[in-house]
Amino acid sequence: MRIGLIGGMSWESSAEYYRLLNELVRERLGGLHSAECLLLSVDFAEVERLQVSGEWERAGELLAAAARDLEAGGAELLLLCTNTMHKVADAVAGAASVPLLHLADTTAQAVLGAGVREVGLLGTAFTMEQSFYRDRLAGHGLSVWVPPADDRALVHRVIYEELCLGIVREESRAAYQEVIGRLVDRGARGVVLGCTEIELLIGQEHSPVPVFPTTRLHAEAAVDLALSRRAP
């Protein structure tokens, strides 16, 4: 089953998707096996401009065109390699006849599978402050908390000014750990790393409660589905 990746938001995390998909297929099939996939990487500067200006319909059209191009190239399953742009997931899914594997759904399934019901959510300001992502998680029966305003601003700034540029700073990791600690103090029993770049900074060793790395979980779910439909 050929996986189509709508990436570039940012390419730093899209590179992680590509690495994870290939590593997971090799682990499961052995030998020289690798993932059959297509990557269409958009210009993130244009997407970020549309985010900031609130032109979500135009952003949806841009990513819908990418979905159509991937389907034309033979993709049989689509991954939108960004949490924030799942705000326009319906537009992307509606543009192609092949399924879109929704990132928030794969994350929620992993959270529930770990026996966790109350989670903190870290991500861009759009993901934390708007309802599209929180509501999707809540639809699976999860209680979702986001950090207070100052912490949200810090988390957002580090994503766009550092992680999207491939910059990983120890002081930012320490600041994120403090944000996580405050979420745990409020009752979070797990933390969703709801931005695909955050995994470049935060791992399980940096949190007192389970973290749910959305990039890895998305890639694992895609490989599960792709291999389940692989011809013998």
Q: What percent of the chain has a predicted confidence (pLDDT) above 70?
A: 99
pLDDT computed for residue 59 by the predictor? 97
pLDDT computed for residue 230 by the predictor? 67
pLDDT in tens, 66-75: 999 999 999 9
The DSSP code sequence of 77-104 is EEEE--SGGGGGHHHHHHT-SSPB--HH
Is 195 part of the annotated catalytic residue set? Answer: yes
- 118-122: strand order across its sheet: 143-145, 118-122, 190-193, 211-213
Q: Rounded CA gap, 212 and 106, in Å?
A: 10
pLDDT computed for residue 229 by the predictor? 77
pLDDT in tens, 87-140: 999 999 999 999 999 999 999 999 999 999 999 999 999 999 999 999 999 999
- The pLDDT of residue 161 is above 70: yes
- Picking from 108, 107, 114, 118, the residue whose alpha carbon sits closest to that of residue 196 is 107
Which entry of 81, 82, 84, 214 is annotated as an active-site residue?
82
Mean pLDDT of 23-45: 96
Q: Rounded CA gap, 178 and 80, in Å?
A: 30
Q: Rounded CA gap, 142 and 220, in Å?
A: 21
Mean pLDDT of 150-166: 97
- Picking from 132, 179, 171, the residue whose alpha carbon sits closest to that of residue 155 is 179
Q: Rounded CA gap, 64 and 58, in Å?
A: 10
Which entry of 107, 127, 195, 215 is annotated as an active-site residue?
195
pLDDT band per the 50, 70, 90 thresholds, residue 85: very high
pLDDT in tens, 180-200: 999 999 999 999 999 999 999
pLDDT computed for residue 231 by the predictor? 53
Q: What percent of the chain has a predicted confidence (pLDDT) above 90?
A: 97
- The pLDDT of residue 61 is above 70: yes
- The pLDDT of residue 65 is above 80: yes
Average pLDDT, rounded, for the chain? 96
Show the domains of the chain with their CATH numbers: 3-102+217-228 (3.40.50.1860), 104-213 (3.40.50.1860)
